[in-house]
Structure 1
């Protein structure tokens, strides 16, 4: 596939080695569950999103950090194969981030993370990434990297006039109010939305409306097998779920969704149509074991919707 120079995505986020154990069910505190199947692979939200966008036709640059260890070397080699520009990725003294992922028989997951090298990223690294941000059509940021660095990337994008997507994962709780003026699109799931807002539980339409009022931007609330909601201060549109061929592993579904959303928005597709296309990517992802194998290519999703207003 030929990547057009008009479609550029800059991504800031984490890379990590994913150690995945598939189990019949999740253990309870103090309990040992046997009959697990162990696998390992490339992971991290930023890396997954960068690879996902590259597979869908974008020219992608990544800001992240890996260790000066074998895992870091493997990551750099993988990005070269996938066509991701990793020239801004820091090689740090600390170990490469590692995530421990448990997946049950229903395909649901829980994850524990040791950030390692990602903690070495500083605002100076965001400044060094400025030229790639300025040359992008959209900037996609997730929160496995230090919050101050993520915020600085969003600020630089605003200074350079580039729209942004903030995928607030892992959920940090409430963010400083000053962040929102730099966020064009916000893509939380239900639990992340609750963490951002605080307060009592509420319905998903209420979550979406409250986030749209808080941020002043466009909120794309992802709801797993219930689809998504695209909300602004003016209205909401429900995005129908795309049935998956099978539910094998939900680990990378959000990353697949965000990558496809970024590519569609970078191409000028309106948010509702972009979210519908992204929902196809999320559905494709959950039918595959492992985050990287579940990231679709353009042929897996079909062509992008036409740019312009959604019918």
Structure 2
């Protein structure tokens, strides 16, 4: 079972502060945390922990953050030989969080801005050998398009996690076999106005019409809607006693979905497995620590094969 992932890597620099400073003001008394992230990297690590042979493509800087990333992928068993070392700095996100949990975020994409269509070409063999290609959208759109187009040319199934959301150009839709937006992202990628008035069922029907493939609409604590040739099915979320941190749930869901599809499961079976991974993730603080192993999921939901 082989999965190719094209997406982002970055480092989150989070400071919890007594209050967010006004312009020109300095506020003391905060606490600081640094952690690896980026949707592509999280999804690659998540898939590797679930037993997949994973190859990953992103762009990082020739800096300490980039070197730490390579060490992380090596430790997690993610093949990163094709990762681009760019002239820019590794992506960082600066996050200020106040006591109420409200946050302000500023992102410097750095190296990721250098990931373009040409960067994808050396990754062709990995895409060709994969059972499925997973692409997320924290990278430039030309790189997203090129990865999906190469997969289509080579006959590799594609899964697009359209986050962060933007309206998708017409050329991308036919390149997607499975699309997985949440309720907020779906209207954005479809180019609808905020007052579109469509139900979740109508949104997922439109997603399937645009791609000609399969669609999953994730709905947080309400689970997900799954739509394939047999119709639309509701997959409920798994109940957990305490929600600690929802940050990594989406990436855990995407990774598990890709693994299950690569194993040959139906879309609904894959969504149930992915929901279990997402439920596990919300019970643990931090993204990387929350990504489950196969053994952890088996112990929680029983054997999945």
CA–CA separation in structure 2 for the residues paired with 1:304 and 1:159: 36
The match for 1:69 among 63, 71, 77 is: 63
CA–CA separation in structure 2 for the residues paired with 1:27 and 1:207: 37
Query: 1:301 offset after TM fit, Å?
Result: 0.9
Change in CA separation of 1:187 and 1:60 when aligned onto 2, cut-off 3 Å = same
What's the secondary structure of 1:178's corresponding residue?
coil
Give the structure-2-normalised TM-score.
Answer: 0.90
CA–CA separation in structure 2 for the residues paired with 1:54 and 1:45: 14
Question: Which residue in 2 is equivalent to 1:118?
Answer: 112
What's the secondary structure of 2:184's corresponding residue?
helix
8 Å CA contact 1:12, 1:141 repeated in 2: yes
CA–CA separation in structure 2 for the residues paired with 1:109 and 1:284: 24
CA–CA separation in structure 1 for the residues paired with 2:97 and 2:267: 31
Question: Which residue in 1 is equivalent to 2:222?
Answer: 226
How far does the alpha carbon of each residue in 1:138-182 deviate from its partner, in whole angstroms, 9 at most, with x for none? Answer: 00000111111111100111111110100001112x212221211
The match for 2:269 among 266, 273, 276 is: 273
Change in CA separation of 1:272 and 1:32 when aligned onto 2, cut-off 3 Å = farther
What's the secondary structure of 1:241's corresponding residue?
coil
CA–CA separation in structure 1 for the residues paired with 2:63 and 2:240: 37
Give the structure-1-normalised TM-score.
Answer: 0.88
Corresponding position: 1:264 with 2:257: no
Q: Which moved more, 1:121-130 or 1:28-37?
A: 28-37
Question: Which residue in 1 is equivalent to 2:176?
Answer: 183
Question: Which residue in 1 is equivalent to 2:82?
Answer: 88
How far does the alpha carbon of each residue in 1:85-112 deviate from its partner, in whole angstroms, 9 at most, with x for none? Answer: 0001011111110123466889887754
C-alpha root-mean-square deviation of aligned residues, in Å? 2.5
Question: Which residue in 1 is equivalent to 2:38?
Answer: 44
Corresponding position: 1:99 with 2:93: yes
Change in CA separation of 1:45 and 1:104 when aligned onto 2, cut-off 3 Å = farther
What's the secondary structure of 2:172's corresponding residue?
helix
Change in CA separation of 1:157 and 1:190 when aligned onto 2, cut-off 3 Å = same
